[in-house]
Amino acid sequence: MPQLFEPTAINGMVLKNRFIRSATYEAMAGSDGTVREQLLEYMAELTRGQVGLIISGHAYVNRAGQAGPRQLGIHSEAMVQGLKRFTSVIHDHGGVVAVQLAHAGKRGIGTGEHGAVGPSDVIEEGVKTASAMDTDTIRKTIIAFGEAAQRAVAAGFDAIQIHAAHGYMLSQFLSPSFNTREDAYGGSLENRARLLLEVYQEIRHRVGEHFPLLVKINAEDFLEGGLTVAEMVQVSRMLADGGLDAIEMSGGTFESGRSTPSRVGTAKSAEREVYYRTAAAAFRQEVKIPLILVGGFLSYPSAEEVVQSRLADYVALSRPLIREPQLVQRWRDGQRSKASCISCNRCFATLATKEGLHCAAEKKLQESKNPA
């Protein structure tokens, strides 16, 4: 029976346990996307917490793809030096690290010539907020992902994850609720998946078959006319057939109401902790590459049950590690009480503060214990 605390490998990358830090935007980079000291200190702390693999916050592959302020950039050669320090600090502490390559699509804040771009025009209250990408822009974006991947290798990352979830660009293309194109990149599932497949192939071509490549994808969008579980399984199979090494399954978009990727509210039962249980089971039946499951994990028994029942190979955590970067180490050492994260989502608001990402609930607690 698989165990949470045992070493495994994904295409040669060895993980000391089955816990993964899911990509989490830290807002700790410079305004130009460069790595800064604070981010390095945060990575050292996470690594000391013994998580098996750290996935960086989403890093933009070109300026149009930037999603938020002080986001990590991997869009130019000037970023590589800082990214080398990022990987070194994790390696020096005995950790393993992947970079998440991303493009925000219609949510982009980048200062590109034409503003935000996505699969289709977006008109909000009479104002055009994003433009449909023409095939030349699509081609350049694929190359941008490929070049970013080469920078990732040069910077010493152990793996790359392509962000195709949560309603960012590649997820927008997959989803009929955002993608209304009538060319080779819209319509049928094969067409909607084309850009993701082309990005994957471009990266694979540049990094070679022995470099671990992962994709984060939505189980479903939870939107009318959005990507469905059955479609996610088919896209995952296409990627697996192309040699992808593992899939991380998440779900939802900013527009998905209560079913956003990070759901508010304390989970009352193990069942509710694992948001994508049914989708994971469907994936398992059809797709034969490792599955990383994210979404609401808070308790050790839930993580253990998911791995031991082989529903998934790895358990990914985001918010619980914001509050307790040492959570995995604590569980490893036998202190198995639930994570102290209360799923309040106030961590999102901290992204706009000058400190960047932190647990607002924990900070408040500490302040009440130690009033200034």
Ligand X SMILES: Cc1cc2nc3c(=O)[nH]c(=O)nc-3n(C[C@H](O)[C@H](O)[C@H](O)COP(=O)(O)O)c2cc1C
Applying CB under 6 A, the residues found at the interface with ligand X are 22-25, 57-58, 100, 163, 165-166, 216, 250, 261-262, 294-297, 317-320, 347-348, 357
Q: How far is the CB of 322 from ligand X (least distance, A)?
A: 7
* Residue placing its CB nearer to ligand X in the complex, 25 or 86: 25
* Residue placing its CB nearer to ligand X in the complex, 67 or 132: 67
Tokens representing 340 are: 């102290």
Segments of the chain assigned E as strands: 8-10, 13-15, 19-21, 53-60, 97-102, 117-118, 122-124, 127-132, 159-164, 213-218, 246-250, 291-293, 314-317
* Residue placing its CB nearer to ligand X in the complex, 106 or 166: 166
Q: How far is the CB of 319 from ligand X (least distance, A)?
A: 3
* Among the listed residues 360, 340, 34, 318, the one whose alpha carbon sits nearest the alpha carbon of residue 166: 318
* Residue placing its CB nearer to ligand X in the complex, 20 or 132: 20
Alpha helices in 287-335 (DSSP H): 300-308, 319-323, 327-332
* Residue placing its CB nearer to ligand X in the complex, 239 or 294: 294
Round to whole Å and give the CA distance between 27 and 31. 9
Q: How far is the CB of 82 from ligand X (least distance, A)?
A: 18
Q: How far is the CB of 186 from ligand X (least distance, A)?
A: 24
Q: Which long-range contacts (CB under 8 A, 24 or more apart) does 80-83 make?
A: 80/151, 80/154, 80/155, 82/34, 82/35, 82/36, 83/35, 83/151, 83/152, 83/155, 83/156, 83/157
Q: 252: left (phi > 0), else alpha (psi -120 to 50), else beta?
A: left
Phi, psi of 281 (to 5 degrees): -65, -40
Evaluate whether 300 touches 336 at the Cβ level (below 8 Å): yes
* Residue placing its CB nearer to ligand X in the complex, 186 or 290: 290
Q: How far is the CB of 162 from ligand X (least distance, A)?
A: 10
Helix (H) or strand (E) holding 361: helix 360-369
Q: How far is the CB of 316 from ligand X (least distance, A)?
A: 7
* Among the listed residues 25, 46, 117, the one whose alpha carbon sits nearest the alpha carbon of residue 323: 46
Cβ neighbour number for residue 300 with a 10 Å cutoff: 18
Torsion of CA 226, 232, 233, 235, to 10 degrees: 120
* Residue placing its CB nearer to ligand X in the complex, 186 or 283: 283
Q: How far is the CB of 363 from ligand X (least distance, A)?
A: 14
Q: How far is the CB of 17 from ligand X (least distance, A)?
A: 16
Helix (H, G, I), strand (E, B) or coil at 172: helix
* Residue placing its CB nearer to ligand X in the complex, 116 or 170: 170
Round to whole Å and give the CA distance between 372 and 363. 13
* Residue placing its CB nearer to ligand X in the complex, 176 or 295: 295
- The vertex-294 CA angle with 144 and 272, nearest 5°, equals 150
Task: Please enumerate in sequence order all residues whose Cβ is within 8 A of that of 80, keeping only pairs 6 or more positions apart, or say none.
Answer: 151, 154, 155
* Residue placing its CB nearer to ligand X in the complex, 39 or 294: 294
